[in-house]
Amino acid sequence: MAIEWTEELATGVTIIDDQHKELFRRINALLEACSRGKGKEEIARVIQFLEDYVISHFSEEEERMQQSSYPAYAEHKAQHEEFKRNFAEVKQLFETNGPAVFVVIKTNHVVIDWLKAHIKRIDRAFGAFLQAAGPAGAQKA
């Protein structure tokens, strides 16, 4: 049930790919804490860790988009905002219910499926844009 980073998720921008891999590691830490039946407190700690990482990762991507005058910035940022709202909802469910099965299923759907789809389509488009901007553009990222 772990989320796995594969080449088809590569944006071609090393720092973004590295952050995605780290993000996946943190999601897996959450899933593992759930499957080991960790208590609410431990789960809350892992979730907070993940939320902080998501927020700083999104900000970094958004900064790079602004620096490179990326034309699809608004659409991309709107997706990040949508994810943050969904994540807040999942966090709330964990706080109320602990790692109940339906909460883990919802996490799989709104966190894992969403992220994979976002990276494949939206982040990869940005990666391609940066690479088309030449080595200077990609390097800045």
Q: Which residues bind Fe ion (CB under 5 A)?
A: 61, 123
Contact, 2 vs 28, CB < 8 A? yes
In the block, which residue shows the tokens 């993940």? Answer: 50
Minimum CB separation of residue 16 from Fe ion in Å reads 8
* Beta carbon nearer to Fe ion, 17 or 61: 61
100 φ, ψ (degrees, to nearest 5): -70, 155
* Beta carbon nearer to Fe ion, 44 or 122: 122
Which of 83, 46, 78 has the alpha carbon at shortest distance from 62?
Answer: 78
* Beta carbon nearer to Fe ion, 42 or 131: 131
Minimum CB separation of residue 77 from Fe ion in Å reads 9
Q: Coil, strand, or helix at residue 19?
A: helix
Minimum CB separation of residue 52 from Fe ion in Å reads 16
Query: Which value, in Å, is the radius of gyration of the alpha carbons in the chain?
Result: 16
Tell me the residue number closest to Fe ion, measured at CB.
123
